[in-house]
């Protein structure tokens, strides 16, 4: 992102009596912010071009009543579901027409909250950063790093796949979990709330892009509710090899891989 970006959902109002959570992520050219309401809905996204370690304290977005503030120096990314914004805002993030979809034009804004990642690889802000005082006083290192039941199931499925590098995705109750294995080690696990098949496609292809996977070579496995959608008819135009894997293929006595199987990474834009 080269320019300032300021997007507000139609659901968002500058109301100091409401409780919001704030995520701040350091970017190479400044900072990105995301604000969630009490229902976990992203209501505001902002990218601010600024000098390193400096966040101006006169931004109205930073003067809301935050009950939680998380700062990530570098690391995880996440995409914003297109449904969170008005149609004109959504087009900034996703080319909605199928003929415009490609790996090369995938763009995203950074939201670190909903990443399932090893917190030992995430660096949090220290007190010497030049943060506004009201933000610093609410700073929290609390980040959800526990794998959900579905994520653990996906890891078990990954351990059964005889491929050196692949992407595995599962849809359960409107949540898409994407797991990537690179050189026989888990490289990333991310979780997204999705509404459309284009959302699903976008997030899966973003994993290919970030890990520099060749969609002509790296296989995609799909599971869960994805197998009931015509998702395969869309993704086949972008990933050459894909297959279905189901939990019933997993023996009950299969345990999680040894710790050395995990090599979770943090990545930047």
pTM, to two decimals: 0.48
Q: Quick one: DSSP state of residue 226?
A: G
Q: pLDDT tens, 150-175?
A: 666 777 777 777 788 899 988 877 77
Q: How confident is the model at residue 220 (pLDDT cuts 50, 70, 90)?
A: very high
End-to-end CA distance of the chain: 9
Q: Which of 199, 186, 190, 183 is nearest to 157 (CA)?
A: 186
Residue 80 near residue 44 (C-beta atoms within 8 A): no
Higher pLDDT, 192 or 72: 192
How high is the pLDDT of residue 221?
92
What is the rounded distance in angstroms from the CA atom of residue 52 to the CA atom of residue 129? 9
Higher pLDDT, 127 or 180: 180
What is the rounded distance in angstroms from the CA atom of residue 9 to the CA atom of residue 78? 17
What is the rounded distance in angstroms from the CA atom of residue 217 to the CA atom of residue 105? 20
Q: Which two tokens stand for residue 236?
A: 């086949």
Q: pLDDT tens, 25-63?
A: 666 667 777 777 776 666 777 777 776 666 666 677 777
Q: Which of 157, 235, 218, 150 is nearest to 183 (CA)?
A: 218
Residues 6+ apart with CB under 8 A from 13: none
Q: Which of 77, 93, 92, 88 is nearest to 32 (CA)?
A: 77
What is the rounded distance in angstroms from the CA atom of residue 145 to the CA atom of residue 252? 25
Domain boundaries, the chain: 5-140, 149-261
How high is the pLDDT of residue 57?
65
> What mean pLDDT is predicted for residues 214-235?
82
CATH topology of domain 149-261: Nucleotidyltransferase; domain 5 (3.30.420)
Residue 246 near residue 221 (C-beta atoms within 8 A): no
> What is residue 78's three-state secondary structure?
coil
Please compute, for residue 39, the number of CA atoms within 13 A of its CA located in the half-sphere on the CB side.
Answer: 7
């Amino acid at each position: 992102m080269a320019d300032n970006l300021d997007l507000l959902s139609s659901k968002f109002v500058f109301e100091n009596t409401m409780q919001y959570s704030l995520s701040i992520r350091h970017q190479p050219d400044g900072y990105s912010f995301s604000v969630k309401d009490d229902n976990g809905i992203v209501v505001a996204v902002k990218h601010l071009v600024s000098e390193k370690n400096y966040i101006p304290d006169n931004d109205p977005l930073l003067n809301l009543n935050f009950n939680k503030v998380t700062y990530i120096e570098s690391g995880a990314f996440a995409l914003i579901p297109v449904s969170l914004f008005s149609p004109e805002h959504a087009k900034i993030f996703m080319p909605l027409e199928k003929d415009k979809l490609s790996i090369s034009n995938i763009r995203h804004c950074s939201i670190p909250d909903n990443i399932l990642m090893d917190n030992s690889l995430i660096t949090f802000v220290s007190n010497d950063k030049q943060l506004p005082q009201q933000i610093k006083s609410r700073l929290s290192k609390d980040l959800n790093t526990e794998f959900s039941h579905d994520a653990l199931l996906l890891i078990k499925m990954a351990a059964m796949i005889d491929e050196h590098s692949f992407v595995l995705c599962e849809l359960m109750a409107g949540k898409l979990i994407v797991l990537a294995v690179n050189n026989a080690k888990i490289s990333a696990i991310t979780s997204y709330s999705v509404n459309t098949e284009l959302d699903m496609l976008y997030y899966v292809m973003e994993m290919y892009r970030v890990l520099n996977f060749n969609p002509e070579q790296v296989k995609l496995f799909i599971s869960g509710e994805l197998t009931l959608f015509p998702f395969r008819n869309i993704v086949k135009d972008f990933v050459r090899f894909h297959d279905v894997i189901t939990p019933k293929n997993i023996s009950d006595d299969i345990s999680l891989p040894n710790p050395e199987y995990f090599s979770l990474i943090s990545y930047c834009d």
